[in-house]
Structure 1
Amino acid sequence: MSCVTVRSKFIFDKFKAVSSAKLRKKHVWTNGNVVISPFKDVQIPETTVVDYVWRNLDKWPTKTAAVCAVTNRGYTYEQMYKLYQTFGANLRKKFNIKDGDTVALMSPNTPEYPVVSFGVLAAGGIVTTLNPIYTSYEVKRQIELSDVKLVVAHVDIVPVVKEALKLAKTDLKIIAIDVDRPLPEGTISYKELVEDKHVDFNILKEVNRKPDDVAFLPYSSGTTGLPKGTELTNKNFIANCEQQNTELRQYYPTSETYQDSVLAILPMFHSYGLSIIMLHKLSVGLRLVTLPKFQPDTFLNAMIQHRLNLMFLAPPMVLFLGSSPAVTKKHFENIHSITSGAAPLPSADIENLFRKADRELSFVQGYGMTEASPLVTLSPKGNKQYDAVGYAIPNVKLRVVDSNMNNLGPGETGELVIKGPNVMKGYKNNPEANKEVFLEGGWYRSGDVANIDETGMVYITDRLKELIKVKGYQVPPAELESVLKEHPKVHDAAVIGIPDLKTGERPLGFIVPKTDEKITNEEVIEFVAKRVASYKRIKDIVVIDSIPKNASGKILRRKLKENYC
């Protein structure tokens, strides 16, 4: 890096810090106790995600768009553009994908993930993302709820998808991402589709998608219940991208002589990895370094070999960086910014990381949810209030309300409600769930307990929603309860989250056996393990006489915690 570049970055950072400080002096509390962002609102382009992300292709065509940290397989921006256009045209022509059709994508993070995603969007489709470690039962449910027309899956996951389709009694076609593996029997080659030399791109001119049309359909449990299809529009994602291109910017602009490299280890099926890393960072010309999963060796090798500049992490990874003997200051040589999200993070873990780096890095914490595409608040560079999650990002308004939905003032604690152009359209085909979470005027109930100080800094203190957070992932109790009650010997069941030193929380199951049935904890645990992803598994079961419930039949989880935890 040249001295001129370093100096220009120093000036840029200094300007940002001064500008942010001035903006935050502006009063963010309105007379009605609505909190506005201290940062200037942004203009949101009226276009689609695929056109927005690729609007500046001519500025960095030969820069690397994505590279695999394990295999070093990668694509430049112009290569990725051609691949996704070819894939999209073939989806429209050979698979009859029409505007608004849903295509399922199930894969770990690879350079092909964005190719498939943009290809589906280019064809006019909607992408529903699936967790690559889902069981066939979980895949079956999402495929049915999403009305999927086609499945695209990594070769290693094809057996799970086939079993899911068998359970769903459907014969959907499977495109296998086979760039470095043999093509599984009974599937269609992704490689052949993207390398097609005779594709007719004119068919893409038929596509007619609008800013308010749904682009992605990830699944979220919201404030409670089973996972629901979260309808996120083109405008939702574009808004969240533009909201990051402000004083809150964590990256350095891409130029002819410079390009930031960002670690893409947070799963792209999740809104954090999908939106903040994949969509936003490609829209500004950064280099994605993909890792399919967290493994200490490949994780640390990527930091050095790919000269990473930005890292977006979940708390367990921050803990690893601050505590592992294998981590040295050499791993942080090129890092200029680290952002943590998905769950609260103790300041001690951040200080341990700084000690490993032998310097104080720019460390930023944020808060969000799938329903907000996902970013809601973010700390500006230089902020050291590590127990806070930052300020409302541009165009976002916040309220803290009591149980009667009355607005509370500075320092008062209540439920956080959110309004902004990044908030979802709604849950797919679920008017009851939408009625529960949306208040009059388009305000979304987060289900999280918060307070906001006089400057607008947000503190998340608890959550009203019943979700269990395991390593930052959502585990809805209702989903596990449904699985438990499928066991032929179980009459009733309940699940709560209990503290765990390694994972943050873990699920604890309670069962009421059917009359005269003998059942062991081991057989119940094994039954659940076959039907859910590993992070959702129950490791402990408590047998009780009855599940405590209120008059309307709702499980009293707090009572279970009081009596058994």
Structure 2
Amino acid sequence: MVARNLFTVNRTLTTVKQSSKYASVVIRKHSVWTQDRVIKSPFKDVHIPNCTLYEYIWQNLDKWPERTVSVCAATGRGYTYEQAFKLSNRFAANLRTKFKIQDGDAVAVMLPNIPDYPLVSLGILEAGGVITSINPIYTAHEVQRQLKLSAAKMIVTLPEIVPTIKEALKLAQLDIPIVVVKTNDSPVPEGTALFNELSEDIHANKSILKQVRRTANDVCFLPYSSGTTGLPKGVELTHRNIIANCEQINEPIIAMHRETTATHQDVVMGALPFFHIYAATVLMFHKMSVGAKLVALAKFQPEAFLSCIEKQKTNVLMVAPPLILLMASHPAATAKTLEPIDVICNGAAPLAGSDVERLLRRMQRDVDFRQGYGLTETSPTLTVTPKGLIRYEATGPPVANTEMRIVDSDLKNLGPNETGEILVRGPQVMRGYKDNPEANKETLVEGNWFRTGDLGVADEDGILVIADRLKELIKVKGFQVPPAELESVLREHPSVNDAAVIGVPHQTKGESPKAFVVLKNGHKCTPQQLSEFVNEKVAAYKHVDDITFIESVPKSAAGKILRRVLRDQYC
């Protein structure tokens, strides 16, 4: 999905005062607008190491081998960096020897946030494989589609998810190995291999890893996105894409971490799902590259989440808007509970200024609030506000090595304070959509400028504000729901002739899917029956509980659904 990620950073007022003047100088020392109305980054270009993501993450291992890399928020089970390196190394060797994983093979990872997630991911990369991440709450119907599209050669999951996987494999008519990560005393399902044994195998033939031939320009991560519209497409992110983004957010003026030293290690809350690009890059890969500690929260519960902040002394918190609202209003969210936090990074959707102010009042501290913007297709970070810029609605200027355009409907460049579609170009932009030249042609235009599908406006300093979105994705609790997917499922019902889905405002979800259905002549069906039909096939956040029957779906001459007409008539 095109993932709109808003990065929010809160630091102490002392830090803000020290950095605000410097930030102001950097932004205003020269014009960021060219004569051709292209916005250049105000930051100095960063050097992008020519290596794989695996090599990049482990390059400073000798600085913090005994530090904790990941720990379970509930049980305290975890690994040091040295243990993670050795275990992922053995897992990688066994992927090559026992499962015949070759360079470029996709390996599906369908796991919640557990401390083993980074080890599984890095093992796949070291084996020369490509990670394709799957939401662990997906249904068999959703899983089988991604397994087929990605051509996954195997899948890593939890024992309790195996029945869903087996049903998905049956639907897809596939027969691939299943590896399970054992996190408790639950039995290992028959016919599966155990990650714990594969990673602890001291006899693993690690010499086989010398056969791996992967470069910085090879694909390493394959999340599935709906782009600006339509059904999910594989987003091909290379090692260089993600490494570039890690280096871009290392810029001191926008950095959200502190250096790991003998006396300090950042503790980063892993509440956002690692399968999502925001958490995968900004939280997991980047924070491992700087030696931080990841606290993995596998199942979200408000009290457990808030307790973990205090218990683990979490100083870096990355969340989506619903969690910001939770911290601003939940009785257990007190100034004392939130005291350890140095940095809050909000992602997935914009926040209203009033919501930010409520959180700051609850924290009882004057802190620096910043935002940014990004997408799955851009690894994800594109813009981040510099320290000291207090504009709640702003998402900042482009990060280093990044250009941006604001264009009209004819893709003609607009100027400062004019609203149009956001186009971007930089080393973090995806290689393309897997096996989808038509989608690539639509989104990568005029010399690899990526069309975000978002509407924005930038001021004279290149500071971007997101105005609206052109794309049709529905934002439900920070997750993106493509209308086309739900429409496709609705049309599978034997009584449905046509369907259209739009997003409507919802008090707690942000948005919620609303369906408009045309029944076949002579057929009868209730909204409840349709809801049950759809909801058993999709993850909970995609559920459709609001259905209206109509005589026909309004469409353009080209056959495209006129969703705005539906909003005007029925919402």
**TM-score bracket for this pair, using the shorter chain length:** over 0.9
Q: Does 1:219 find its partner at 2:231?
A: no
Alignment partner, residue 55 of structure 2: 51
C-alpha distance in structure 2 between counterparts of 1:16 and 1:162, whole Å? 54
CA contact (8 A) 1:223 1:467 kept: yes
C-alpha distance in structure 2 between counterparts of 1:140 and 1:132, whole Å? 13
CA contact (8 A) 1:372 1:424 kept: yes
Q: Does 1:286 find its partner at 2:292?
A: yes
Which of 39, 45, 50 is the matching residue for 1:41? 45
Q: Does 1:305 find its partner at 2:308?
A: no
C-alpha distance in structure 1 between counterparts of 2:19 and 2:82, whole Å? 32
Which of 517, 537, 547 is the matching residue for 2:543? 537
Q: Does 1:149 find its partner at 2:148?
A: no
Which of 195, 203, 212 is the matching residue for 1:207? 212
Write the mapping of 1:92-241 to structure 2, written as runs, cut at 5 A: 92-180=96-184, 181-241=186-246
CA contact (8 A) 1:179 1:191 kept: no
**Displacement of 1:218 after TM fit?**
0.2
Which of 432, 439, 442 is the matching residue for 1:436? 442
Which of 377, 382, 388 is the matching residue for 1:376? 382
**Displacement of 1:15 after TM fit?**
5.6
Q: Does 1:267 find its partner at 2:267?
A: no
C-alpha distance in structure 2 between counterparts of 1:311 and 1:412, whole Å? 34
CA contact (8 A) 2:48 2:247 kept: yes
Alignment partner, residue 87 of structure 2: 83
CA contact (8 A) 1:336 1:362 kept: no
Q: Please give the per-residue CA displacement for 1:221-265, whole angstroms capped at 9, x wherever unaligned.
A: 110000100000000000000001112111110001111111111
Which of 26, 51, 75 is the matching residue for 1:23? 26
C-alpha distance in structure 1 between counterparts of 2:380 and 2:209, whole Å? 29
C-alpha distance in structure 1 between counterparts of 2:214 and 2:324, whole Å? 40
SS in 2 for 1:51: helix
C-alpha distance in structure 1 between counterparts of 2:324 and 2:13, whole Å? 26
The letter for the 2-side match of 1:76 is T
SS in 2 for 1:331: coil
**Structure 1 stretches lacking a partner, 5+ long:** 1-8
Q: Please give the per-residue CA displacement for 1:306-348, whole angstroms capped at 9, x wherever unaligned.
A: 0011111100000000111111111122211111121010111
Which of 330, 333, 347 is the matching residue for 1:341? 347
Alignment partner, residue 244 of structure 1: 249
**Displacement of 1:10 after TM fit?**
9.5
The letter for the 2-side match of 1:200 is N
**Displacement of 1:516 after TM fit?**
0.4
Task: Give the RMSD, CA atoms, in angstroms.
Answer: 1.3
CA contact (8 A) 1:179 1:190 kept: no
Alignment partner, residue 473 of structure 1: 479
CA contact (8 A) 2:16 2:388 kept: no
C-alpha distance in structure 2 between counterparts of 1:191 and 1:67, whole Å? 16
CA contact (8 A) 1:105 1:129 kept: yes
Q: Compared with structure 1, are the counterparts of its residues 516 and 113 closer, same or farther at alpha carbon in structure 2 (3 Å cutoff)?
A: same
Give the structure-1-normalised TM-score. Answer: 0.97
Q: Compared with structure 1, are the counterparts of its residues 11 and 388 closer, same or farther at alpha carbon in structure 2 (3 Å cutoff)?
A: closer
SS in 1 for 2:361: helix
CA contact (8 A) 1:177 1:189 kept: yes
Q: Please give the per-residue CA displacement for 1:109-168, whole angstroms capped at 9, x wherever unaligned.
A: 011101000000000000100011100000000000000100111222111111100111
Q: What percent of counterpart residues are identical?
A: 53
C-alpha distance in structure 1 between counterparts of 2:104 and 2:20, whole Å? 43
**Displacement of 1:293 after TM fit?**
3.0
Alignment partner, residue 554 of structure 1: 560
Q: Please give the per-residue CA displacement for 1:47-104, whole angstroms capped at 9, x wherever unaligned.
A: 0000001100000000110111111011110010011101000000100000000000
C-alpha distance in structure 2 between counterparts of 1:333 and 1:15, whole Å? 21
**Displacement of 1:294 after TM fit?**
2.1
The letter for the 2-side match of 1:228 is K
Q: Please give the per-residue CA displacement for 1:263-300, whole angstroms capped at 9, x wherever unaligned.
A: 11110100001000000000001111110132111101
C-alpha distance in structure 2 between counterparts of 1:344 and 1:197, whole Å? 48
**Displacement of 1:381 after TM fit?**
2.2
CA contact (8 A) 2:406 2:413 kept: yes
CA contact (8 A) 2:477 2:510 kept: yes
Alignment partner, residue 6 of structure 1: none
Alignment partner, residue 528 of structure 2: 522
The letter for the 1-side match of 2:314 is L
**Structure 2 stretches lacking a partner, 5+ long:** 1-11
CA contact (8 A) 2:13 2:366 kept: no
Give the structure-2-normalised TM-score. Answer: 0.96
SS in 2 for 1:335: coil
**Displacement of 1:186 after TM fit?**
1.9
**Displacement of 1:24 after TM fit?**
0.5
**Displacement of 1:356 after TM fit?**
1.2
C-alpha distance in structure 2 between counterparts of 1:505 and 1:314, whole Å? 14
The letter for the 2-side match of 1:232 is L
The letter for the 1-side match of 2:558 is S
CA contact (8 A) 2:16 2:368 kept: no
SS in 2 for 1:215: strand
Q: Compared with structure 1, are the counterparts of its residues 482 and 449 closer, same or farther at alpha carbon in structure 2 (3 Å cutoff)?
A: same
Which of 408, 419, 424 is the matching residue for 2:414? 408
**Displacement of 1:12 after TM fit?**
7.4
**Displacement of 1:16 after TM fit?**
4.1
Q: Please give the per-residue CA displacement for 1:445-472, whole angstroms capped at 9, x wherever unaligned.
A: 0000000011111000100001111111
